[in-house]
Amino acid sequence: MSIIKPIVLCLLLSLQPLPSQAAEPVKVLRYALPSAETGFDPAQIDDIYSRTITAAIFESLYRYDHLARPVKVLPLVAAALPEVASDFKTFTVRIKPGIYFATDAAFKDKQRELTAADFVYSYKRFADPAVKSPGWSTFEEAGLLGLAAQRELALKGKKPFDYEREIEGLRALDRYTIQFKIEQARPRLVEMIMTGSDIVGAVAREVVDAYGDKIAEHPVGTGPFKLGAWRRSSKIELLRTPDYRERFYDAEPAPGDQEGQALLARFKGRRLPMLDRVEVDVIEETQPRWLAFLNVEHDFLERVPADFISQAMPNAKLAPNLAKRGVQAFRTVGPDASLTVFNMEDPVIGGMTADRIALRRAISLGLDVPREISLVRRGQAVPAQSQVVPHTSGYSADFKSEMGDYDPLRAKALLDLYGYIDRDGDGWRERPDGQPLVLVRNTEPSGTIRQIDELQLKNMRAIGLKLEFKTAKWPENMKSARGGKYMIWFLGSSADSPDGLSALQRLYGPAIDGQNLSRFKHGEFDRLYEQMQAMADGPEREALLLQAKRLAVSYMPAKAHVHRIYTDLAHPWLIGYRRALFWQDWWQYVDIDESKRHPK
């Protein structure tokens, strides 16, 4: 017995971790979204907040180079860039073998490899009427041969969409090869429907079948993260996918891009993702979001709220107290526009008659955008002259239009000219037929939006127009807008590709019930839009983009206010951040240095 005891003691000692074998710290990124998510099914969502989550879970065929400016498209699950026919009507894509979906009960806990058939199925879901995808308008424009016809069969026959039926425009040639055939030339088909994991990430049919109408609550993709704990509209947790394939940091920043080159030198060859977990709170009010960052409850603050920009960046420089703490600031003119959208089917404000056009133009001229920039946004925006946004084709800082004017005197003159006058002396204008005129704008219960509401209320009162508000959460307002059940709504729109035409899709007739929230229909505009879809980039296409922008100004189905300046802040332990332009999947490219979070 005396011999056995020392042996047992040695065995126990050998099982204890040595100091040099201490476990690596768990790397967690914590921050907040300013609005609630709507769900996590790529085919059913359109809002940027949900897409921020799905971008980390799903993967598309291609991705944007995270550091390249101007942007470049690179393979993600595809083995290479597509083989493209000279007429831009046939695209052949091969995907890499050995890519797997995250483990899920829908696969009976077995590994499930990603195949070409998964992309065929995922793309067909956008056409399925039962899915009610806001992204269908984009796929319809892409013109995949037979896809629209298959959708029509389901609609007219009132039968389930036939996923088994093969169509010419979207086929799996073998286990790893997809072929796209389209009706008309689409030089930018890759950016349209093959790039953007938040929008066109692959889903597996077994998962959709398993969860049915709850699929938006059970996202399962091939991406670097998977959904962990989730409290709707409150907290979302993303966990590193434990069996995510070997993928390594690489990029192609421009030679003169010092920031990009420095990031590449630091991270090249690192395995992705570098984080173990991402915790996202939903905090709609600006003050608690700001305080959460200051109190180090969050590592990152995306888009410093305008209420606090003077504290964070006085005179466009990082505040000394933040600089002393090692806080990093990132300032970018965003590829977005804030918009007042008019429902063109509304009986009061919609329509194409001269008086309705005059009413919308008068409202546009009466909105004090310079004061919105200075007072509400604290200088963190530049005036917009059209819906086309910075960093995209068709955008020009030199373009000037009535959409960028603030002129209440001209607004009053237009209203007088077309019969919108105060007949009963109560201080409010009536409609040309003498009926009451009340504008109703959908709004959200957030601090910044409330300030915009107050400013617009004063602006409309100044030109004799009565404005009322209908308050709801952002997802409810989006649902109303898609269904055409609103009069006016104020919202932001972000580009998802470097093609400026994507912003003008919001005015394209066939995109009604999808991206076209204005429900605008105009034959010449649609013709220009379709012509540009088939054209390669160049001066001729730019000239047509200019024509389309001018038409949008003339009929004013939506008023573009500003392009926002984004100022993001990060504590010193968040390393590698660079604001993405047209994509949301940046979490996998950053790291947390826990030694800086908890210095010894």
pLDDT at 79: 98
Which residues neighbour 167 within 8 Å (Cβ) at sequence distance 6 or greater?
144, 145, 146, 147, 149, 150
Say how far apart CA 518 and CA 484 lie, in whole Å: 8
Cβ atoms of 82 and 190 within 8 Å: the answer is yes
Q: Mean pLDDT across the chain, nearest whole number?
A: 93
φ and ψ of 111, to 5 deg: -65, 135
Region for residue 47 given its phi and psi (left: phi exceeds 0; alpha: psi -120 to 50; beta: otherwise)? beta
pLDDT at 335: 93
Structure tokens at 425: 């002396």
| Topology of the domain comprising 336-564 | Dipeptide-binding Protein; domain 3 (3.10.105)
pLDDT at 22: 53
Assign 52 to helix, strand or coil. helix
pLDDT at 109: 79
Q: Yes or no: is domain 59-211 CATH 3.40.50.300?
A: no
Given a cut of 70, the residues of the chain with pLDDT beneath it are 1-23, 599-600
Say how far apart CA 92 and CA 106 lie, in whole Å: 30
Cβ atoms of 131 and 163 within 8 Å: the answer is no
pLDDT at 563: 96
Q: Count CB-CB contacts under 10 A for residue 256.
A: 7
Structure tokens at 548: 């389309």
Say how far apart CA 344 and CA 518 lie, in whole Å: 6
pLDDT at 600: 53
Interstrand relation of 235-240 and 225-231 (parallel, antiparallel or unpaired): antiparallel
What is the chain's alpha carbon radius of gyration, rounded to the nearest angstrom?
26
pLDDT at 596: 86
Distance of alpha carbon 78 from the chain centroid: 23
- Which one, of 11, 159, 71, lies nearest residue 578 by Cα? 71
Say how far apart CA 476 and CA 186 lie, in whole Å: 34
Q: How many residues does the chain have?
A: 600
pLDDT at 24: 74
pLDDT at 250: 96
Say how far apart CA 540 and CA 554 lie, in whole Å: 22
Say how far apart CA 587 and CA 302 lie, in whole Å: 13
Residues 548-585: tens digit of each pLDDT: 999 999 999 999 999 999 999 999 999 999 999 988 89
Question: Tokens 């962990």 identify what position?
Answer: 228
β partners of residue 271:
248
Assign 428 to helix, strand or coil. coil
β partners of residue 172:
178
Which residues of the chain are in CATH 3.10.105.10 domains? 336-564
pTM of the model: 0.82
Which residues of the chain are in CATH 3.90.76.10 domains? 59-211
Cβ atoms of 384 and 337 within 8 Å: the answer is yes
